[in-house]
Structure 1
Amino acid sequence: MHLKQQRKIIFAITIFYTLFILYFLFFAFGRAGKVDQITEYTFIFLPDSFFRLPGLSDLLHPTLMDFVGFGNIAAFIPFGILIPLLYRTSFVRFMISFILSILVLETIQALTFLGSFDMNDVIQNSLGAAIGFGAYKLGFRTKNNWRNIAATGISSVVLMLGVCGVFGMLDQVFTKEMGPFVAINDLKDSTGKTLTGSKPSSLKIGGQDVEPQYNVYNIEGKKKETYTYTLGNKGELYLFFNYGIPDQKDFQGSIKLTIDGHEFLSVSAEDQGHEPAVNEIFLPQADELTITIEGNETLWDVGFREMVYFWN
């Protein structure tokens, strides 16, 4: 096939594929019909996650976001192959032009209410184009077009898997997960002593049998009891606890939880039901926890799980 004829075919494929992508960017998924329902521009400048390599369970039961993340990369691989076939260009020049084009398209999406400006999309689309350019460089090395196409296709798959693997590892390194549960009675109070509360024993609350696993806190024969623990200025943790009034006792009392002088829970018997309450509180940072109990209120299995990196 003549070189000029090949160029015309590649140019036609590029135009057709560009129109195809533009359709999905602006009109697919009923975007046009939702314009009247949108009243605010959406600009997401900070990427919230890296593209991650799906695990076996993800591959067997992929979510919509798995398909979206994969599609945002794979759909733009052809541009990294077609553009260099049409015009001689360096990788840096190609990527600068591509990123600027995507930024313009994302901005138009947001301003026309046909989508949003999302930096996650910009990064994923650019990765796809970079993979395509790399596959082009690896694949088009001979005069045999069919061999070049096959080599480029294989290179695209290999590079895609490589990028997914690298970003999957980055996602693991920079993503926090919940650490193990730490019972509050394993810590020391503000004086350095260990306050364990009562030994865990069976309770019956709201007709339900409750089996505390870690600790139980109540007034222990007093009118009021206060427990204070030093958490060590931990950041990003979830505090877990349960409370209620045992069936055999009068329905009166109160519980107050204070973190670094700020009240996070204050509940009295009049404000709660007869069934046991299960609670979870997110704390951006916490140093000192104070538990104040009055009356027949009982608190149990108090502890926390800290958000940590896997290498911690």
Structure 2
Amino acid sequence: MTTQQRKIILALTILYTMVILYFIFLAFGRLDTIGQMTDYTFLFVPDSFFKLPSIADLLHPTLMDFVDFGNIAAFIPFGVLIPLLYRTSFVRFIAWFLLSILVLETIQALTLLGSFDVNDVIQNSSGAAIGFGAYKLGMRTKNVWRNIAATGISIVVLMIGVWGFCAIVDNVFTKEAGPFVALHELTDSTGNPATGSKPYSFKIGGQQVEPTYNVYSVEGKNRETYTYTLGNKELFLSLYYGIPDQKDFTGSIRVAVDGHEFLFAAAEDQLHEPGVFEIFLEQANELTITIEGNEQLWDVGFREMKYFWN
């Protein structure tokens, strides 16, 4: 590399660094948000690194899709420019890069111009690593234009490789809602294992209701309580409720999980039509349902969040 070429690369590196620093500290109206922020924000647990947009997402991209790709792509040039200026190993390069990004993220948080986000650190470093790999693969000849073309192709190939790897890891470590489990399939701790297991049709507000899984009511009493053990699961709990047309509009329902009440619906507060209730619970062990009067619940159940291997 000639002295002239080195000066050009150095100037490009400095200019590009200034652009990146502008986006880190000043762009997107960051100065306007200083007065709105009262606390430092430090996010040390990664939660979105492996959530790069899928091909389907790219057909209808959102702002966050561009941000995730941008956090990687914007730092690829450093992986090419720095090794061109200074001979260095990958370990030394990525160590210094990580240290620099950690310092910048910390300054961003302490100046209230943003937050320290470990997701950004991982994504930015991944971009730099892609650039360094492309430099090693592309800069193999004395022909400048051939080297540029080879480096560009290497960047695309490595980016696709990282994208595919992230998709695999995302699939492995992301939980999805499993099949619907009807509540009557569990054993009721009150000693009623078959309660609610025989669905029957009825009308609410003139609408014909055809339960698929179960129906819960007071079973001829004024009040009934059903308690189930869910086993400390992460799940979506759902149910339908209402008072059939042929019955007096009296009653109420309560739904509590581990002693915390999540739903209370009295007859006088309800519309004369089927009600729907669904809630996500990070941990659910004991489910208690209390029914009074003519209230009925049906298709009560949950979908457990599981990894694909479960």
Instruction: Say yes or no: TM over 0.5.
Output: yes
Deviates more, 1:3-12 or 1:34-43: 34-43
1:36 lines up with 2:35 in the alignment = yes
Where does residue 126 of structure 1 map in the other structure? Answer: 125
- Structure 1 contact 31–114 (Cα < 8 Å) conserved: yes
Deviates more, 1:49-58 or 1:292-301: 49-58
Deviates more, 1:178-187 or 1:274-283: 274-283
Where does residue 304 of structure 1 map in the other structure? Answer: 302
In the TM superposition, residue 137 of structure 1 has moved relative to its aligned partner by 0.8
- Structure 1 contact 35–114 (Cα < 8 Å) conserved: yes
- The 1-side partners of 2:27 and 2:255 are apart by 51
In the alignment, residue 52 of structure 1 is paired with which amino acid?
K
Deviates more, 1:260-269 or 1:68-77: 260-269
Is the partner of 2:278 in helix, strand or coil? Answer: strand
1:244 lines up with 2:228 in the alignment = no
- Structure 1 contact 227–292 (Cα < 8 Å) conserved: yes
Q: For residues 65-95 of structure 1, what are the alpha-carbon distances to aligned partners after superposition, in whole Å with 9 as ceiling and x for unaligned?
A: 1111101001100000000100111111111
Where does residue 146 of structure 2 map in the other structure? Answer: 147
Q: After superposition, where does 1:136-285 map in structure 2 within 5 Å?
A: 136-190=135-189, 194-197=193-196, 199-231=198-230, 233-260=231-258, 262-285=260-283
- The 1-side partners of 2:285 and 2:44 are apart by 33
Q: For residues 124-167 of structure 1, what are the alpha-carbon distances to aligned partners after superposition, in whole Å with 9 as ceiling and x for unaligned?
A: 00000011111111111111111111111111111111111111
- The 1-side partners of 2:226 and 2:147 are apart by 73
- Structure 2 contact 187–228 (Cα < 8 Å) conserved: yes
- Structure 2 contact 71–124 (Cα < 8 Å) conserved: yes
In the TM superposition, residue 6 of structure 1 has moved relative to its aligned partner by 0.8
Is the partner of 1:250 in helix, strand or coil? Answer: coil
From the superposition, tell whether residues 285 and 51 of structure 1 become closer, same or farther in structure 2 (CA, over 3 Å).
Answer: closer
Where does residue 10 of structure 2 map in the other structure? Answer: 11
- Structure 1 contact 51–69 (Cα < 8 Å) conserved: no
- The 2-side partners of 1:249 and 1:296 are apart by 7
In the TM superposition, residue 268 of structure 1 has moved relative to its aligned partner by 3.0
In the alignment, residue 67 of structure 1 is paired with which amino acid?
F
Is the partner of 1:222 in helix, strand or coil? Answer: coil
In the alignment, residue 9 of structure 1 is paired with which amino acid?
I
Is the partner of 2:179 in helix, strand or coil? Answer: coil
Is the partner of 1:213 in helix, strand or coil? Answer: coil
Question: What RMSD over aligned residues (CA atoms) do the two structures have, in Å?
Answer: 2.1
- The 2-side partners of 1:189 and 1:306 are apart by 18
- The 2-side partners of 1:33 and 1:228 are apart by 52
In the TM superposition, residue 258 of structure 1 has moved relative to its aligned partner by 4.1
TM-score (norm 2): 0.92
From the superposition, tell whether residues 288 and 106 of structure 1 become closer, same or farther in structure 2 (CA, over 3 Å).
Answer: closer
From the superposition, tell whether residues 40 and 226 of structure 1 become closer, same or farther in structure 2 (CA, over 3 Å).
Answer: closer
* Unpaired stretches in structure 1, ≥5 consecutive residues: none
Is the partner of 1:29 in helix, strand or coil? Answer: coil
- The 1-side partners of 2:28 and 2:261 are apart by 46
In the TM superposition, residue 188 of structure 1 has moved relative to its aligned partner by 2.6
- Structure 1 contact 52–164 (Cα < 8 Å) conserved: no
Deviates more, 1:160-169 or 1:124-133: 160-169
- The 2-side partners of 1:103 and 1:169 are apart by 27
* Unpaired stretches in structure 2, ≥5 consecutive residues: none
- The 2-side partners of 1:116 and 1:44 are apart by 7
1:48 lines up with 2:40 in the alignment = no
Where does residue 293 of structure 2 map in the other structure? Answer: 295
- Structure 1 contact 177–310 (Cα < 8 Å) conserved: yes
- Structure 2 contact 72–127 (Cα < 8 Å) conserved: yes
- Structure 2 contact 184–197 (Cα < 8 Å) conserved: no
1:68 lines up with 2:67 in the alignment = yes
Where does residue 59 of structure 1 map in the other structure? Answer: 58
Is the partner of 1:179 in helix, strand or coil? Answer: strand
